[in-house]
Chain A
Amino acid sequence: MDLAKEEQEMLSGRHGNAVRSSMNLLVSLGEIFGAKRLIDISSVQIAGVSYHNLGEAGLDYLSDLAKDGKVKVLTTLNPAGMDMENWKALGIPEDFAEKQIRVIEAFRKMGVVTTCTCTPYFVGNSPPSGSHVAWSESSAVCYANSVLGLKTNREGGPSALASALTGKTPEFGMHLDANRQAKVVIDVEAAMKTIPDFGALGHVIGNRIGNKVPLIRGVKKASVEQLKSFCASIATYGGTALFHMYGITPGKTAVPEEKISVSREDIDNARAEMTDGKDPDFIAIGCPHLSLKEVGEVAELLRGKHVKKEMWICMARPVMKDAEKRGWIKDIEESGAKIACDTCMVVAPIKGRFNVLATDSAKGCFYGRGKNDFKTIILSIPELIEEATK
């Protein structure tokens, strides 16, 4: 790789140990994946925040970098293993909480904005379209590339952090326009209405095409919330980093030859595949974290009702603060549902506490099964609230 003088100095250790080891990681990756140079990035989203995933070794790794490392660009965090303020109410053990707080402190010491969310684009981490960024969190990567027009590879925790500490990323993969062209056309022949519909569409496409870039046609309209859910689903089931949705997303692509169609039956089958449980004992909304608009809808539906099952409403803390001013958090809490900021049902250590998860999230179904051995049910938000209050 061709390194500028300043980059060589960073690699040599003149800018400290955290910069040296970060640079070493980025240059090694660049050489393996054929990058010719490093490029400047505008922002970072870091995964590997839950102590449940990091373990003691991961915490040591972060603490080492925090000795002299400082982030060079706006950097936000993925969800943690617990609500950083309200963890006791969610049943998180004290020893876990103590470790999780140390993880967040290590990030804070490096200058990271310690807002823990999978929707960084709702809390101010949203650079102008066309910017290069280094994001992890598969749903956010897919949203960044496809909906926001940003350019990022699917980073893991250590490489995203290395980019934050240097302001650089190796130029390969999604950073090069040639790799952002669609490889297959998906013709959607079913009307997409609800969030579970969009989740099911991501399930169908992801399973059929893996991580190829698709051009999706036939979707007439899609809200921010529907796109967010679709991104989470297609990235979970297919590993997709980027899609084009005709008339909706900003990217440009030629129309490829290979064509696949998706029928109503395919969507219904995917929804049926994600529902293998009944009588849920755990209801969770907010994977990915809710938008302010969605929190308002949930509050409206829960107002004056009584929730009879464990129910989590997951969102970023700044979104919660905003909703609080509108009285929506009070509506939700008075119903008996619990607000979970900074975390969600996917990353919190809740294996063994519940048997059947009901959610509106296709991604939530995948991890609920794979990680926590839950049976799952996919329903829309109004249906979930009916289930919780009946």
Chain B
Amino acid sequence: MRLSGRKVMNGSAEGEALVSSEGISFYGGVDPATGNVVEKGHPLEGQSVKGKILVFPAGKGSTVGSYALYDMKKRGNAPAAIVNREIETIVAVGAIISEIPCVDKIEIEKLKTGQRVRVEADSGVVEIVE
């Protein structure tokens, strides 16, 4: 299945999808030293975003989250790509300065955790490989 959206940051990546029904705050919500989601009560609490195709509705929280994504990328703990329903500025800036492939305007309900997914950000396409 192919889902079509919009490029936020170019590049491509393939990996395992990790899907959250709730927004993610990269400042305080994810530990950059491990890539684990640490926000109390978050649906992904305790899971690692490292190397995943990270799927969530939109970013939230402090604007410092852009630097936190950059920090994760430098430490090798960033997601391989980001897929959003509707991008906001914190994740957009974070993805652009960290060069993490990113698309939005995707029907994220169609994606499930554990699926193998390919992101072609330049053409805004997310493909479920299996």
Contact = CB atoms under 8 A, between A and B. Distances in A.
Interface of A: 21, 24-25, 28-29, 32-33, 47-48, 53-58, 60-61, 136, 153-159, 370-371
18 contacts: A28-B92, A29-B92, A29-B96, A33-B89, A47-B63, A48-B66, A48-B67, A55-B71, A56-B71, A57-B67, A57-B70, A57-B73, A57-B75, A58-B67, A58-B71, A155-B89, A156-B93, A157-B66
Given A136-B63, A156-B66, A157-B67, A53 B93 contact: no
A61 B97 contact: yes
Contact of A60 (B28, B32, B74, B87): B74
B18 interface: no
A25 B64 contact: no
Contacts, number: 75
Interface in B66-112: 66-68, 70-71, 73-75, 87, 89-90, 92-93, 96-97, 104
Contacts of A370: 28
Contacts of A155: 63, 89
A25 B71 contact: no
A238 to B, nearest CB: 14
B44 interface: no
User: Which one of A47, A136, A159 has the greatest number of beta carbons of chain B within 10 Å?
Assistant: A159
B124 to A, nearest CB: 12
Contacts of A33: 89
Contact of A159 (B9, B65, B68, B93): B93
User: Interface size for chain B: under 10, 10 to 19, 20 to 34, or 35 or more residues?
Assistant: 20 to 34
B27 interface: yes
B24 interface: no
Contacts of A159: 89, 93
A29 to B, nearest CB: 6
Nearest to B60: A239
B13 interface: no
Contact of A28 (B9, B63, B71, B90): B9
User: Which one of A56, A58, A370 has the greatest number of beta carbons of chain B within 10 Å?
Assistant: A58
B109 to A, nearest CB: 22
Contacts of B32: 55, 57
B8 interface: yes
Contacts of B63: 47-48, 136, 154-157
User: Which one of B6, B63, B65, B73 has the greatest number of beta carbons of chain A within 10 Å?
Assistant: B63
Contacts of B28: 370-371
